[in-house]
């Protein structure tokens, strides 16, 4: 039948249905078992973990200042003294990438958290209340889905950046602004997913049983419906991290994200793009880092979809 073909074909041997075992497993162990079978997803997880480790402890192990200007060593190719070469001011690219990677990855995670929280709350309210509240919230969701996101992102950052810079300082202000704005434009798919899950779960027998036993709506939602609808949300959240990393890099690449003294990967790429002919390495390393992070996250999302949400075909 239509649904019997697993959605992701990157899963090796995905054709075989999970065998019933005599021993009982917790749902999470079962999900982990399915995730492990998706070899590319595991590879993605390992690569992403290595990248996260590198940006977390890298600056400690590689204590080269990110803003040490040395014109005698500008635009150098990778060498032993500068493993990834230098930029037009002679700054060490590896050090800048290790430092900037923290911000790039942190923006991705934080924006995803905002998107998932907002989306879950809105989807849950819509799914549990139905009626006019549901209709209004879904109209809002559809409206947000049809907004041109990048122009609006640029517009909002253009309008608000100076105020926030004065208010909480350039780095924190920009971080908060970018995270909030990116997260604020990415919650809609999560809201739709959660609502759809709620609509089907609230009619299931176990929820009915809870209701019959006198559970309040809050208890039904928090104890029974929400935990069971988390699978697709986790998958969507994973993909959101990748989308947020791309969104931040795009903003920085257009010169409208973080200021030059915060070298996120997109920002390094922006600085590098006018020197492509003499220093291609300068653009290739940060671009490659973004690509690798996004590819790993997408594969992890694919594996998680097989692990947590076996019915969905995408």
Partner 1 sequence: MGRYLVRRLLIAIPSLVGISVVLFTVLALAPGDPFEELATNPNVPSEVRANLRKQFGLDDPIQVRYVRWFGSMMKGDWGFSFASRVDVDRLILQRLPVTIVILGSSLLLALLVALPVGVYAATRPYSVFDQIANTFAFIGFSLPTFFTGILFILIFSITLDWLPFVYRADISATGWRWFWEHFKQSIMPIAVLGLFQGASWTRYVRSAVLDVIRLDYVTTARSKGLAEPVVIVKHVVRNALIPVVTLVALQMPLVFGGAIVTEQIFRVPGIGSLLISAILANDTPVIMAVTFVFSCLVILFNLLADILYGWLDPRISYR
Cα separation of 12 and 164, whole Å? 48
9 binding partner 1? (CB under 8 A): yes
Q: And the tokens for 228?
A: 């069971």
- Looking at the Cβ atoms of 50 and 278, the one nearer to partner 1 is 278
Q: Which of 287, 304, 305, 306 binds partner 1 (CB under 8 A)?
A: 287
16 binding partner 1? (CB under 8 A): no
Tell the smallest beta-carbon distance from residue 200 to partner 1 (Å). 19
Q: Which of 151, 212, 213, 214 binds partner 1 (CB under 8 A)?
A: 151
Q: Which of 100, 298, 300, 305 binds partner 1 (CB under 8 A)?
A: 298
Tell the smallest beta-carbon distance from residue 297 to partner 1 (Å). 8
- Looking at the Cβ atoms of 113 and 152, the one nearer to partner 1 is 152
313 binding partner 1? (CB under 8 A): yes
- What string marks each residue from 207 to 246 as x (binds partner 1 by CB under 8 A) or -? -----------------------------------x---x
136 binding partner 1? (CB under 8 A): no
Tell the smallest beta-carbon distance from residue 86 to partner 1 (Å). 19
Cα separation of 10 and 295, whole Å? 13
Q: Which of 33, 56, 77, 158 binds partner 1 (CB under 8 A)?
A: 158
Contact region for partner 1 (CB under 8 A) — 20-28, 86-94, 141-149, 200-208?
141-149
Residue whose entry in the numeric block shows the structure tokens 């209340």 = 129
Q: Which of 110, 283, 300, 304 binds partner 1 (CB under 8 A)?
A: 283
Q: Which residues bind partner 1 (CB under 8 A)?
A: 1-5, 7, 9-10, 15, 139, 142-143, 145-152, 154-156, 158-160, 162-163, 242, 246, 249-250, 253-256, 266, 269, 273, 276-277, 280, 283-284, 287, 290-291, 294-295, 298-299, 302, 313-314
């Amino acid at each position: 039948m239509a649904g019997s073909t697993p959605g992701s074909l990157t899963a090796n041997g995905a054709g075989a249905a999970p065998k019933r075992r005599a021993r009982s497993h917790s749902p999470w162990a079962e999900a982990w078992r399915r995730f492990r079978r998706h070899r590319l997803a595991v590879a993605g997880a390992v690569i992403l973990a290595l990248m996260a480790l590198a940006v977390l402890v890298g600056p400690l192990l590689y204590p080269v200042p990110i803003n040490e200007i040395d014109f005698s060593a500008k635009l150098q190719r990778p060498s032993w003294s500068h493993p990834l070469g230098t930029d037009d001011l002679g700054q060490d690219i590896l050090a800048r990438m290790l430092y900037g990677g923290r911000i790039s990855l942190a923006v991705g995670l934080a924006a995803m958290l905002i998107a998932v929280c907002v989306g879950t709350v809105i989807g849950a309210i819509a799914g549990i209340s139905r009626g006019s509240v549901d209709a209004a919230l879904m109209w809002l969701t559809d409206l947000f889905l049809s907004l041109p996101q990048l122009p609006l992102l640029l517009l909002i950052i253009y309008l608000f950046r100076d105020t926030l810079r004065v208010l909480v300082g350039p780095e924190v202000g920009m971080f908060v602004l970018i995270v909030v704005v990116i997260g604020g434009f990415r919650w809609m798919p999560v809201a739709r997913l959660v609502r759809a899950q709620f609509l089907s779960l609230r009619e299931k027998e176990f929820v009915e049983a809870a209701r019959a036993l006198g559970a309040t709506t809050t208890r039904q939602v928090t104890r029974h419906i929400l935990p069971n609808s988390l699978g697709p949300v986790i998958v969507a959240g994973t993909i959101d991290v990748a989308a947020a990393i791309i969104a931040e890099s795009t903003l920085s690449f257009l010169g409208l994200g973080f200021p030059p003294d915060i070298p996120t990967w997109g920002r390094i790429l922006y600085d590098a793009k006018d020197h492509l002919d003499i220093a291609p390495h300068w653009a290739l390393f940060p671009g490659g880092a973004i690509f690798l992070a996004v590819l790993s996250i997408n594969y992890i999302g694919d594996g998680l979809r097989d692990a947590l949400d076996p019915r969905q075909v995408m």
